A and B are shown apart, each in its own frame.
Chain A
């Protein structure tokens, strides 16, 4: 074959190619109109409420299964309302009666959703080794009255049960028959669904699609389809949003200033106080930190405002503990609220710990590393040398885990943050003595704390509960094992004509999304 080219021919072809490229219409990645496109940070792993782990693991069952009650947007105070329950009411302090809505049915041949399914769903988690067993710590049993009615019996009064146990995670109702037929549990294939949406397709590590359930008899969701796009990195996700890859995405805290200055056209920003709480763990069991004066010196040398300005763009204030300020139960102030470098130096000198050198472990994300660097500079002013040890997710969660070796006894400083709950006990639970070597990495071991925790679970008087929580946080801070940093801000961008609903755990509730 004879092949030849000339300059004019090449220029003509190149020009035509460029013109064609320029003429390509704005690329619409997914079907628009009745499709809701959401970005999530990771693919799902387990859809069985018994073993739910992460973000998408919980969001999908919100769509494909039901819970007795459902929470509203966290910005509106996490108000709950009946969902699968037509009626739900306390008969007394330990008995909660419910009646399921008519018309709820499982896919396949599993019939209607029954009170027996509710009993099975809750009792299989209560007292089990599920991560969500704590939700049902006070559950005695579920009594089945008839197909649609039952009574939840608690071991003792526990008013927050409705918001802790019922709306999400372990609170999702599964079909007893279907789960038993599947061998007692499942991972990625839901054996029977009953929610407003049905699981449609899964392109692993890329996309999950749900479609409207034609048999759903409840309030119709606003979108025919929901597509979840899996994009790990927040910054990449923001770029993809700007390229119209989806309608909603969380963005990095560091992007706030840039977005406030120049929002993408047709987009709106959600900037709200989140429930994720961040703090600095000081391991009082580590040799260099056994002297309480050394731990206190770190608390005095820490510059809270510098961290808030540097890592969070000043979007949030300093926290006074792990109880969310929005709960109405938070402490008014920290015991050590003002920085005092001279006092820190004096405490170190008194303890004979001049020239102290410590390791600070922090995740590799930008915010964690920024905080670590600011703390490094803060403590350097008091004469403490900090070596920052960046660790990835997998290595990080082994640091304080007693089943991963003896390292948990000697880790020194760790930057930590946990997703929070609605009731303060959901956040305070991780600092009980039995959590040492699990999630209490400070080795904070207080009998008074434990007894207050137990009392707060059953106390009905709100003022008394507040006093208990405040005292518990005083104990945490006075131990020298904690520096409270903040409740991290929640940031997301979305199409301006979209009304998103964000639940207390920071995850969206696609069923409640609608167009403005």
Chain B
């Protein structure tokens, strides 16, 4: 188990280095001069040159990459060219917003997905099951930013129930909770359909298991069988998928944050890319890649610890 954990962590580190090197190369392949963009159409060539120097863009790419990794090892993700604030500070300031959005989105999607999946099993092969199937596939295929725009139009513009932009007033929990509803809905809605289908498929398999047949033989109601016995088993593969899916949730959050002008990693990185603010782009990508790898690695280690079959494979 320890050897597996070390191997897994080593692999994560390697992925991180490969991603960052590729990212660095890509950043410099993208056309566009950050100094020209940042300083606007009236900047003098001298001013632009000075900014390029400040951003380290006058150095060879390899030097820049080595310098970047050297700093990262010392816990320094760089400094924002404009605000002169440490990139890490900026990330830590907005990351909780993205994390909360992701967790709430995944949370409500899981609850709804489980309920709908179970309902589909209880009403299997009926019209309701088919309708739930169509509905699930439909919401899976709608991109989160489209849901976000329509949610914004309906609930913020027409009905005026919820705020259209922002993350709510600082220190006002109710305001922050209201500001979270639409973005979390938009990010999570696709996962409701996905999880509902997943739960239904797992449940149908479990419902054929001997212990379920035994429960039926004892005269238990179908609802009790589904919620008390089948779901416990059927939900295991779903949980392992959730860890991997959290990455996709965070990607959706990037788009949704832009639609709702909500502070978070999405708006931070979008603004940085638009302005070619390289230190912020690199620092944010590194942070998010590391975070995602940590989640996936933790999930893998947890599964290895909990699932005896995986333990057996590791031993062999």
Cα distance, A397 to B41, chains bound together (Å): 8
Provide the residues of chain B in CB contact with A419, threshold 8 Å.
41
Provide the residues of chain A in CB contact with B274, threshold 8 Å.
232, 392-394
Provide the residues of chain A in CB contact with B227, threshold 8 Å.
3-5
Contact A394 B178 (CB under 8 A): no
Contact A131 B44 (CB under 8 A): yes
Task: Pick the contact of A29: B50, B163, B223 (CB < 8 A).
Answer: B163
Provide the residues of chain A in CB contact with B164, threshold 8 Å.
29, 239-240, 243-245
Provide the residues of chain B in CB contact with A203, threshold 8 Å.
170, 263
Provide the residues of chain A in CB contact with B33, threshold 8 Å.
394, 397-398, 401, 403-404
Q: Please encode chain B, from 34 to 46, with 1 for each CB lying within 8 Å of some chain A CB and 0 for all others.
A: 1011111111111
A34 in the interface (beta carbon within 8 A): no
Contact B178 A27 (CB under 8 A): yes
Provide the residues of chain B in CB contact with A233, threshold 8 Å.
258
Q: Please encode chain B, from 292 to 307, with 1 for each CB lying within 8 Å of some chain A CB and 0 for all others.
A: 0000000000000000
B136 in the interface (beta carbon within 8 A): no
Provide the residues of chain A in CB contact with B94, threshold 8 Å.
204-205
In chain B, positions 153-175 with a C-beta closer than 8 Å to chain A are: 153, 156-157, 160-167, 169-170
In chain A, positions 418-452 with a C-beta closer than 8 Å to chain B are: 418-419, 430, 438-439
Closest to B223 in A: A4
B83 in the interface (beta carbon within 8 A): yes
Provide the residues of chain A in CB contact with B34, threshold 8 Å.
394
CB distance from B222 to the nearest CB of A (A): 13
> Contacts A239-B152, A243-B160, A395-B32 known; A206 to B166 CB distance under 8 Å?
yes
> Contacts A4-B227, A236-B261, A401-B33 known; A131 to B163 CB distance under 8 Å?
no
**Which interface residue of A236, A418, A430 has the most chain B CB atoms within 10 A?**
A236
Cα distance, A203 to B223, chains bound together (Å): 49
> Contacts A132-B42, A134-B42, A391-B31 known; A204 to B93 CB distance under 8 Å?
yes
B197 in the interface (beta carbon within 8 A): no
B315 in the interface (beta carbon within 8 A): no
Provide the residues of chain B in CB contact with A239, threshold 8 Å.
149, 152-153, 156-157, 164
Task: Pick the contact of B268: A205, A391, A398, A402 (CB < 8 A).
Answer: A205
Report the number of A-B residue pairs with Cβ-Cβ less than 8 Å. Answer: 162
Cα distance, A203 to B37, chains bound together (Å): 23
> Contacts A4-B227, A188-B83, A397-B33 known; A29 to B39 CB distance under 8 Å?
no
> Contacts A229-B261, A394-B275, A395-B31 known; A131 to B40 CB distance under 8 Å?
yes
Closest to B32 in A: A394
Provide the residues of chain B in CB contact with A46, threshold 8 Å.
82
Provide the residues of chain B in CB contact with A245, threshold 8 Å.
163-166
Closest to B274 in A: A393
Contact B42 A131 (CB under 8 A): yes
In chain A, positions 170-214 with a C-beta closer than 8 Å to chain B are: 187-188, 203-207
Cα distance, A292 to B166, chains bound together (Å): 53
Provide the residues of chain B in CB contact with A404, threshold 8 Å.
33, 36
Total chain A interface residues with beta-carbon distance under 8 A: 59
In chain B, positions 132-190 with a C-beta closer than 8 Å to chain A are: 149, 152-153, 156-157, 160-167, 169-170, 178
In chain A, positions 102-144 with a C-beta closer than 8 Å to chain B are: 129-134
Contact B41 A43 (CB under 8 A): no
CB distance from A284 to the nearest CB of B (A): 21
B271 in the interface (beta carbon within 8 A): yes
Provide the residues of chain B in CB contact with A418, threshold 8 Å.
41
Cα distance, A205 to B90, chains bound together (Å): 11
B98 in the interface (beta carbon within 8 A): no
Contact B49 A403 (CB under 8 A): yes
CB distance from B143 to the nearest CB of A (A): 16
Closest to A201 in B: B170
Contact B44 A394 (CB under 8 A): no
Provide the residues of chain A in CB contact with B263, threshold 8 Å.
203-206
B61 in the interface (beta carbon within 8 A): no
Provide the residues of chain B in CB contact with A395, threshold 8 Å.
30-32
Provide the residues of chain A in CB contact with B262, threshold 8 Å.
206
B267 in the interface (beta carbon within 8 A): yes
Cα distance, A53 to B163, chains bound together (Å): 31
Closest to A28 in B: B163
Q: Please encode chain A, from 471 to 502, with 1 for each CB lying within 8 Å of some chain B CB and 0 for all others.
A: 00000000000000000000000000000000
Provide the residues of chain A in CB contact with B275, threshold 8 Å.
45, 394
Provide the residues of chain B in CB contact with A207, threshold 8 Å.
166
Closest to B268 in A: A205
Q: Which residues of B contact A (CB under 8 A)?
A: 30-34, 36-50, 82-85, 90, 93-94, 149, 152-153, 156-157, 160-167, 169-170, 178, 223-224, 227, 258-259, 261-263, 267-268, 270-271, 274-276
* 12 A-B residue pairs with CB within 8 Å: A4-B223, A42-B271, A45-B275, A130-B47, A229-B166, A240-B164, A391-B31, A392-B274, A397-B33, A401-B48, A403-B49, A438-B45
8 A-B pairs with least C-beta separation? A394-B32, A243-B164, A395-B32, A397-B36, A243-B156, A129-B46, A398-B33, A395-B31
Known pairs A27-B163, A244-B164 / 18 extra A-B pairs, C-beta < 8 Å:
A24-B161, A29-B163, A29-B166, A53-B40, A131-B47, A134-B42, A187-B84, A203-B263, A206-B261, A206-B262, A206-B263, A206-B267, A239-B156, A239-B157, A240-B152, A240-B261, A245-B166, A404-B33
